[in-house]
Amino acid sequence: MTETVKSQYDMRDPRTQYPQPPFPKQPQDKPGFDHKMEPKADHGENSYQGFGRLKDRKALITGGDSGIGRAIAIAYAREGAEICINYLPEEKEDADWVCDLLEGEGHAVHRMPGNLTDKEFCNTLIKEAHERMGGLDILVNNAGVSWRPLRPVSDATLSDWKFMIDVNLWGVINGLDVFLPRMSKQQGEKHVVNTSSLAGLWPVKGHTPYSATKAAVTAISEGLASDLAEEGFGVTILHPAMVRTNVVANSEAMRSDVDKGEGRTFRSMVDERMEKLAAAYIDAEAVGEMVRDAIERNQLYLHTHPIEAQDIRSRTELIYGADTYGRA
């Protein structure tokens, strides 16, 4: 059972702050909605309190209807930003819910349904976002899909790979391609947030196509941070670990060609590292606050779990400790 809090600053008992596994099975038909999750996920709807720290900023959030994107949208709007929320048309039910909530509080919110894998739509999106808000200085590339059921890469089809690459990689590339040129012309501070994953830094067993796309997002973001610093851009790479969202239900539901059988069980595929993370689930509301703070600090790497940093250090030690150089 989770606690009821008045704001994100209330003292909370870590033992009851977030629901913990095992969670009930909850497969959803297309497209998979946040409000159908059990137990209900917390995105900050009743707890996030803003203080105007993003006053007059203008932000576009892809995948802003649910999960981490919804938490970011709530945090940014309550901190004073004018926001555009992009979402798939079939996810209108979730999008309307969060937009109605924020508009009811008096925040400026724009609804922009469409698929980021469609380059023509991306061109329309940038035009409409600028027309409605009069500019854009924060871009959050958050839309993405997961890989379920977990299974070895030898079981992955070309269709699996294409699905992952189209959404997780080309969605980000298309967004950057159409938004960066316009943002570069604007004066003042600008910021890009790209959602990668822990799997993008340390590939997860049974998750290879997903890990590959997220590793690419991380590499692109690191390049952006270097290339765009002189143009006034800050870049944040979000590496979530175990955040309880509807992304799994969404990812399975979006596929028309996937076998929705059980496949290998989660427990049979994860290693010790994932076992530790599975015991440390958080809700998206915590991530929304983290991403808002990252902009203020111009933080490049943002990890949702302390154990992530430990894993990354361990991987680095393995790389540098290995005998990787040829011998004469």
Q: What are the catalytic residues?
A: 210
Question: CATH number of the domain at 43-321, please?
Answer: 3.40.50.720
Output the CA–CA distances (angstroms, integers) from residue 121 to 14, 118, 124, 144, in the order listed: 43, 5, 5, 17
The pTM assigned to this predicted structure is 0.82
- Tell me the domain boundaries of the chain: 43-321
Output the CA–CA distances (angstroms, integers) from residue 39 to 23, 66, 104, 110, 299, in the order listed: 8, 15, 25, 29, 32
Rounded mean pLDDT of 146-174? 88
Other beta carbons less than 10 A from residue 156's beta carbon: 15
Confidence of residue 238 (pLDDT cuts 50, 70, 90): very high
Per the CB < 8 A criterion, the answer to whether 294 and 236 are in contact is yes
Other beta carbons less than 10 A from residue 110's beta carbon: 18
Token readout for 187 is 């004066």
Token readout for 179 is 């938004």
Q: At 259, is the secondary structure helix, strand, or coil?
A: coil
Between the two ends of the chain, the Cα-to-Cα distance in Å is: 62
Per the CB < 8 A criterion, the answer to whether 182 and 231 are in contact is no
Rounded mean pLDDT of 164-186? 93
DSSP letter string, 116-178: TT-HHHHHHHHHHHHHHHS---EEEE-------S---GGG--HHHHHHHIIIIIIHHHHHHHH
What percentage of residues in the chain have a pLDDT greater than 90? 53
Token readout for 243 is 């955040």
Task: List, for residues 72-125, the tens digit of each pLDDT value.
Answer: 999 999 999 999 999 999 999 999 999 999 999 999 999 999 999 999 999 999
Confidence of residue 261 (pLDDT cuts 50, 70, 90): very low
